[in-house]
Amino acid sequence: MGKIGVQHLKEGMVLAADLLAPNGRFILPRGAVLKEGQFPTLKAWGVVEADVEIPGEAGEGGEPEGLPRSLLERSRGLVDRYFPASRRTGLPMEELYRICVRRTAERMAQGLPLPGEEEGLVDPEFRGAALPRSKGGELSPRDLVQNDRFLASFPDVYFRITEVLNSPTSSVAHISEVVSKDPSLSAKLLKLVNSSFYGFASRIDSVSRAVVLIGGNELSTLALGISLLAAFKDVPEAYVTMRSFWMHSVSCGVFARLLSTRRDASKEEHFFLAGLLHDLGRLILYRRVPFSMAQALQEAIRRGVGVHQAERELLGFDHASVGYQLLKDWKIPPSLAEAVRFHHQPGAASDPYEPGVLHVADLLALGCRFGSSGSFVIPELDLDSWDLLGLSPNALDSLILQAERQIREVSGMFFG
């Protein structure tokens, strides 16, 4: 017996355990014989793996089918630049590396841009045009956040929605009225709720209907995330393009949302927003201490370490601490702020689950080259965080395919 990814299921395989959707809904019983016509339904329900009595041979290592060896070798050479051998220890990372090599080779075979190129992912040969010097070591996360007038006044839409939600007399109509006053926000929210991100059976054509289906609290978090996109426009592209930054943030949010549904489908928007905000502190560092950040990026590439490690060595703190300070000042729910604070060290949190989900989501987004916030080398996987998810390595392929579809739709909404 063994678990295999849904894309590797074949007609005639027998389930070794009851098959459930990520939200816990029963789909098929143990002993059921799978049929070809069931596979689209399983994918639509978000199933990424199944425990079968006949695991099959697909997806269990070896060379991907239909790809020339020479192309795979070229692909490995490219992937090895950001996915060094030291990061491939353990079954999850071995499987992720195999997927990254195959995905890159497939794009090369089709003449498509390599993963990350479309989003402007900065090449490690960068950089560092003449940038203003900054005295990062003399600042603290609180200094960076509190002395920025722009950050102190943002985001207004979120606070208007939160104010309505906290009122004992608020209603769907009140929330809808606040959101509807921002036509751009309303249009983007409606695009999102009508995408595969939610998968509603019928079209949602009003903000009030979206509030009913999604919930006021969830809609407020989505409104915050969407309204952030236009917030940072003056980050030098020597570090990262804003398209690449937000593509990575959206991707991390989608991965976090999908990973969280395996345990609790009631907080999907919470995890999506956590992913969207997880690197917000890095944008503040790019704006406030650009010289120090140029040093951190160069040092991370030279040594093959995470940028957050270089940030700590140069500044005494990292972008996660800055983001945490900002979210606290914005009175974002504490558990979300804590997840952002500890997403590079989940074990240091009082409850490592939410930071752990964010940590794995961040790693998957960067490994698949869905944009970047400046990091180039894939980080090390925190195995305790992986174990908390209850996900088998064989499910990664299906999870990434499912995420890619949603990322394409959500990013299309954000970027046009």
User: How far is the C-alpha of 30 from the C-alpha of 172, rounded, in Å?
Assistant: 42
CATH fold of 136-155+228-415:
Hypothetical protein af1432 (1.10.3210)
In sequence order, the β-bridge partners of residue 382 are none
DSSP annotation of 30 reads T
In sequence order, the β-bridge partners of residue 187 are none
pLDDT the model gives residue 118: 55
User: How far is the C-alpha of 152 from the C-alpha of 159, rounded, in Å?
Assistant: 12
Give the contacts of 1 (CB within 8 A, at least 6 positions apart). Answer: 16, 51, 52, 53, 55
Domain boundaries, the chain: 2-52, 69-109, 136-155+228-415
Token pair, residue 282, equals 């890095």
Query: Per DSSP, which regions of 240-351 are E strands?
Result: none
The model's pTM is: 0.79
The CATH number of the structural domain formed by 2-52 is 3.90.105.10
User: How far is the C-alpha of 142 from the C-alpha of 375, rounded, in Å?
Assistant: 24
pLDDT the model gives residue 137: 53
**pLDDT tens digit at each of 416 positions of the chain:** 467 777 778 887 888 887 877 766 678 777 778 887 777 777 767 787 888 875 444 444 455 557 788 889 999 999 998 999 999 989 999 999 999 999 999 988 888 777 666 555 545 554 444 444 455 457 888 888 876 655 655 567 767 777 887 788 878 788 788 878 877 778 877 887 887 777 777 888 888 888 887 777 777 767 777 777 656 666 667 667 888 888 899 999 999 999 998 777 677 778 988 998 899 899 888 888 888 888 888 888 888 888 999 999 999 999 999 999 988 887 788 999 999 999 999 999 999 999 999 999 999 999 999 988 888 889 899 999 999 998 888 889 889 988 988 888 777 766 65
Q: Integer distance in angstroms from the first to the last C-alpha of the chain?
A: 45
pLDDT the model gives residue 128: 45
Give the contacts of 288 (CB within 8 A, at least 6 positions apart). Answer: 134, 139, 144, 148
User: Residue 15 in 3-state DSSP?
Assistant: strand
User: Which helix (H) or strand (E) is 160 found in, with range?
Assistant: helix 156-166
Token pair, residue 89, equals 């220890």
